[in-house]
Structures are given as structure tokens and as C-alpha cells.
Amino acid sequence: MKVPLLDLGIQLKSMREDIVAAVTKVIDSTTYIQGPEVASLEEEVASYCGTKYGIGVSSGTDALLVSLMALGIGPGDRVLTTPYSFFATMGVILRCGALPVFADIDLLSYNINPQAMEEILAADKEKTIKAILPVHLYGQCADMSAILGLSKKYNIPVIEDAAQAIGAEYPDLSSGEWKKSGAMGLAGCFSFFPSKNLGGIGDGGMVVTNDSAFADLLRMLRNHGAEPKYYHSRIGGNFRLDPIQATVLRIKLQYLEQWHAARRKNAANYNELFAKTTLLQDERIFVPTAVYADQAAHAGGNKNYHIYNQYVIRVQDRDALIEWLRSNDIGCEIYYPVALHEQECLRGLMDKEVLPNAELAAQSTLALPIYPELTLAMQEYVVEKIAAFYER
């Protein structure tokens, strides 16, 4: 049996005619920059996230970058973030001329640890930390009640890196309400990279916010800082969302909730299948922890407590297991093999830190196929082969 890490082709089949028709309509319109498809997607994504405004941009990376630019982040500033994420989280900080400050993660969610954040913020006597950039990794929200509490205490804005988590929900402990990723900080940033739960047919991104002034500034900055045309009071960039991507995403957005549910079902299948082996008892593997699952069950069970953009296990002998899985036609991937604080590009910029949880995650985590169309037979095959590897 062949089990790919991701199969976009099978997803495309059910909506191919609609996508081709929509893309053709954009082509025939000759409106190739911005236009009504981008505006409609912005409204629909903002509504879905529970925010007032959506600002379409060219990628998830540029969503983060333009948000930091709007905050005026620059040389001499520092941004508090996680050491365990895709490079873009740190890369945008460096591109602004600022430096990252890393708080270690917890090993249940792989998200940034608020206690570690508190220690760093308390020690920042010169107030050089100008923004907080938490990541909702793998499709599960970071502990936003604690993070927003730190934001208020230290008067530092929060930009949510929700690239992997559109639609993920968080139980706000103060209000008892469930809030969606991206709608809790000053702004939330999404990626529409094809492998995301809501993915385009190329690059794309979105910033959502409830702050009208911040939204206006983002719109200006994504278009070279021009307002009106040819008049530039700020230096921006070319961060516009392509209308072809917007029209495809509008179609896919209609399926997003059922895809989330299918991914959660697949995660539950994996958990049940692994529980029938001895791998969990022997601690050969650790399955993902859905931190907010119990609260979701009490709320009726219909909450996106985890959207499983990735199903990531922590394992022994990871590299050998990868070779074994691939030799058995099972797709898998490491997200991420090098923690951000250990990336070579930081050499000479800042002192090397020791962040044991992030380093352990980088050395031992492995993502398994979790896409919505994955069959139970495929999952049984994956677990069977993993069990066989450790029984050799």
C-alpha cells in the first residue's frame, strides 16, 4: 500500500470544475491585481474568524512581515517568540532589523510556554521587547489567556502566527467563550500555502484584525505604502494577494469545516490504533496531546480544539524510523529538524541559547499523513508498519 504524506489531487477532484470556472472568470475579467475576488475573500475570512477586517497578502510570511512593519519594529527592537516553528516566524523579525527572543516550548502542545515568557519579560528592564509573536503550531492554539495576560501586564502587542491554524478555537478562561485563532491578539496571520487546511494553488496569506486603524495601515503597506496612489508616507512592499488565489480559496473555504472534522477523526483513529499496541506503554512514541479536547467535549464537542494541520508524534530512533516508513511507501516529514535558535544565520547576531524542549522536539518529532481523504485502511497500515519497526 502507498500512503502519501499529502494528496492534493484527490481533494481537487470534487471541486475541479468549480475551480476551473472561477479561475477562467478571473482571467476573462482582466482584473489581475486586487479586485472583487480579493475583497470578497477578505470579508469571508474575517467573518469566519470572527474579526471585523481581513487584509489579503501575498503569503503567510508577508502577513507576518507587514504586521511587524505596521508596528514599526526595527533595529534595536526585540520580538518575543517560540524557538520551534517554521523559519518565517523568525525570518520576518530579522528582515525588520530586529532580533528574536526565544521562550522555550512545552512538550504537550509544542507551543510557546507562558511561564518561560514571563521570566523573559520580567528580565527585560530596558523594555526592548516590542512585540509578542506566539505560534499556534500544527493546528492547536497556544495558551492565549496567559499570553494576553502578559501582553496587558507589559503593554506589548500580540501578533498571532496562525499560519497552521485557521479555524482552530481556544476556550477563553476569562469569558468562557471560544475564540478562533487570529482573533485574540492585535492581529492574526494566516498562510494559504497549498499544504495548509485552507490552501490555494500557489502562495497567499491574510491578516485579520479588529483594529480599524491597524487594518488601514496594513492595506497601505501591502501596496508599497501608497495612499493615495503614487504618494508614499510610509515604506511598504508589494504584498498583494493574487485574485486567482482568492477565487480558489473562496471555493475551498466552503469545505473547510468538514475538512477540519475529517482531520480530527483521523487523529482519533491514529490514537485508538496506537493505543492497541504496546508503543505508548513502552514510551517508544508519544501521540499528540489535544490540550483543549475536554473543554470542547463539555461545550458539546463541536469545537475546533485542534485542526491537525499536522499529526506529529514524538519517537525513539526517529531517523531510522523515517527510512523504514519511506521504504514501505509511507510519507512522513520532520517539522522541524533544527530549532530556530540553532539556525546558522543567527551566528554572530546573538548568543546561542539552550532551550531543551525545543531541541528535544527537533530531534524526535515526526509528522504522519493526516489529510482529510486518508482512509482507515491507510492508517492501519501506517501504525502496523511503525509497530513492526520497533518489534524488529
Share the mean pLDDT of the chain: 97
Query: Of 114, 111, 78, 82, nearest to 94 (Cα)?
Result: 78
Phi and psi at residue 193, to the nearest 5° = -55, 145
Please give the Cα distance from 269 to 353 (Å, whole number).
Answer: 38
pLDDT tens for 288-345 read: 999 999 999 988 878 999 999 999 999 999 999 999 999 999 999 999 999 999 999 9
Using the predicted structure, report yes or no on whether residue 50 has a pLDDT greater than 80.
yes
Using the predicted structure, report yes or no on whether residue 174 has a pLDDT greater than 80.
no
Using the predicted structure, report yes or no on whether residue 176 has a pLDDT greater than 90.
no
Average pLDDT over residues 197-215: 98
* Per-residue confidence (pLDDT) for residue 326, from 0 to 100: 98
Average pLDDT over residues 252-256: 98
Using the predicted structure, report yes or no on whether residue 173 has a pLDDT greater than 80.
no
Average pLDDT over residues 278-292: 95
* Per-residue confidence (pLDDT) for residue 301, from 0 to 100: 77
Domains and their CATH numbers in the chain: 8-103+110-253 (3.40.640.10), 256-391 (3.90.1150.10)
Confidence of residue 201 (pLDDT cuts 50, 70, 90): very high
CA dihedral 88, 76, 128, 132 (to 10 degrees): -20
Using the predicted structure, report yes or no on whether residue 51 has a pLDDT greater than 80.
yes
Which range, of 77-86, 150-159, 173-182, 247-256, averages the lowest pLDDT? 173-182
Grid coordinates representing 231 are: 504618494
For residue 74, count other CB atoms closer than 10 A to its CB: 12
**What's the Cα-to-Cα distance from 336 to each of 74, 143, 267, 362, rounded to whole Å?**
27, 21, 20, 6
The full DSSP string for 99-165 is EEEE-PBPTTT-SB-HHHHHHHHHH-TT--EEEEE-B-GGG----HHHHHHHHHHHT--BEEE-TT-
